[in-house]
Amino acid sequence: MDLKKYLSVSPEVAEAIASGKPVVALESTIISHGMPYPQNVETALNVEKIVREAGAIPATIAIIKGKITVGLTPDEIEYLGKKGLAVTKASRRDLPVLLARGEDGATTVATTMIGAALAGVRVFATGGIGGVHRGAETTMDISADLEELAQTPVLVVCAGAKSILDLGLTLEYLETKGVTVIGYQTEELPAFYTRTSGFKVDYRLDTAKEIADSFRVKLDCNLGGGMLVTNPIPEEYSMDPEYINKNIDDAIAECERLGIKGKDTTPFLLDKIQKLTGGSSLKSNIQLVFNNAKLGAAIACELSK
């Protein structure tokens, strides 16, 4: 397999991987499709800074001119952020055509995991993952992120899942696929904007070291697939559950009314929620990503010991 044809790793990230330094992968759909410009670019650059301050090397991943690029330059981040929804949102099924045509793409959790694994990066921090959508029993809308967690050996740190998803079904799916769901310092699955959801995680682990130890076993024993670490939003930025859930319900109703389907669903809902909450949810969203970057870096540091 000629990986070099499709993979481009920045010199800094390549050096870090080769010498066993901690590296944290970061996704790009959150930049192009998850937040408005210019907050998206500002956030992406700040996340990289937070990873560095915590002692790891950031590797933001996207598809640039037909190459899975691991370690974007600030100019590339600016380009993706400015282009926004006009960039192709690239999940696993989009890779063959985008790479063959030499096009650009923003990587979802699924494709960021693929890029990280190809380059040898083991830890990835983001905001929220895709999952089983509400109503999936008839729409069959289940994010490819879940299948990726089932097969690709990357640890993903997120703030749980938004209740645009069916959290119970998402957990069932992950269980079926053998994906361990860890709660960082919590027994309860966090729901992105809120610290609680009413659902339990599989295991509560209280330190980055314990998380790294468990993930190392997964790698050593070739158990296959990733691990999901859920990290509750810091208390001071968490939102009132009633308020945010009402807005999520309204966003979903609007999505159904407009007949939005498939890969457009998640970006539509994210944008709608941000508009309905007058930007207050964006503020929380940014803070929880920072919080996950910090934890991701701490886990990467432990894993590289």
Shortest distance, position 41 Cβ to ligand PSU, whole Å = 14
DSSP label at 202?
A: S
Q: Which is nearer to ligand PSU, 51 or 87 (CB)?
A: 87
Please, which residues bridge with residue 182 across strands?
203, 229
Q: Is 29 in the site for ligand PSU (CB under 6 A)?
A: yes
Closest CA to 61 of 111, 128, 22, 19: 111
Helix (H, G, I), strand (E, B) or coil at 207: coil
Binding string to ligand PSU for residues 62 to 101, with x set by CB under 6 A, is what? Answer: -----------------------------x----------
Express the helix, strand and coil content of the chain in percent, nearest 5 each.
50, 15, 30
Nearest-angstrom CA–CA distance, 30 and 15: 26
The owner of tokens 């938004």 is 162
Nearer to ligand PSU, 270 or 300 (CB): 270
Q: How far is the CB of 139 from Mn ion (least distance, A)?
A: 8
| 27 touches Mn ion (CB under 5 A) | no
If binding is defined by CB under 6 A, does position 270 make contact with ligand PSU?
Answer: yes
Work out what residue 281 binds among ligand PSU, Mn ion, none; the CB cut-off runs from 5 to 8 Å by kind. none
Residue 162 bears catalytic tag? yes
CA atoms within 13 Å, Cβ hemisphere of 63: 29
Q: Minimal distance in Å, beta carbon 157 to ligand PSU?
A: 13
Residue 22 interacts with ligand PSU (CB under 6 A)?
no
- DSSP run (H or E) holding 183: strand 181-184
Please report, as residue ranges, which positions from 146 to 185 form the binding site for ligand PSU (by CB under 6 A).
Answer: 162
Cα–Cα dist 183/109, whole Å: 19
Q: Which of 48, 67, 89, 162 is catalytic?
A: 162
The candidate with the shortest Cα–Cα distance to 186, out of 197, 172, 176, is: 197
Q: Is 302 a catalytic residue?
A: no
Residue 130 near ligand PSU by CB under 6 A: yes
**β-strand 57-64 against 105-107: which pairing, if any?**
antiparallel
Residue 128 engages ligand PSU in binding (rule: CB under 6 A): yes
CA dihedral 74→79→81→86, nearest 10 degrees, is: -160
Instruction: Among 27, 48, 94, 104, indicate the residue that binds ligand PSU (CB under 6 A).
Output: 27
Contacting residue, 27, 104, 141, 302, with Mn ion by CB under 5 A: 141
Number of residues lying near Mn ion (CB under 5 A): 1
The single residue among 17, 24, 30, 68 that binds ligand PSU, judged by CB under 6 A, is 30
Residues that bind Mn ion (CB under 5 A): 141
What are the catalytic residues? 27, 162
